[in-house]
Copies of this chain bind each other. A is one copy, B any other.
Amino acid sequence: MKKRAATRGSGRKQADPDGSTMPENNHLDKEVHHLVELLNQHELTELEVEHKGMRIRVRRGGGADTIPTVVSEPGRAGLDRKGESAETAAQALAAEALATVASPIVGTFYRSPSPDADPYVDEGDFVKKGQVLCIVEAMKLMNEIESEVDGRVHKILAESAKPVEYGQPLFLIDPTATP
Number of residues from A at the complex interface, CB < 8 A: 35
Q: How far is the CA of A51 from the CA of B162 in the complex (A)?
A: 55
Q: Is A19 an interface residue (CB 8 A)?
A: no
**For chain A, what secondary structure do more than half of its interface residues adopt (helix, strand, loop), or is it mixed?**
mixed
The answer to whether B35 touches A32, judged by C-beta atoms less than 8 angstroms apart, is yes
| CB pair A49 B28 closer than 8 Å | yes
Enumerate chain B residues within 8 angstroms of A51, measured Cβ to Cβ: 28, 53-55
Indicate whether A58 reaches chain B with its CB closer than 8 angstroms.
Answer: yes
Q: Is A3 an interface residue (CB 8 A)?
A: no
| 20 A-B pairs (CB sep. < 8 Å) | A28-B49, A29-B34, A32-B38, A39-B42, A44-B58, A45-B59, A45-B60, A45-B62, A46-B59, A47-B57, A47-B58, A47-B59, A48-B59, A50-B55, A51-B54, A51-B55, A52-B53, A61-B65, A64-B65, A65-B65
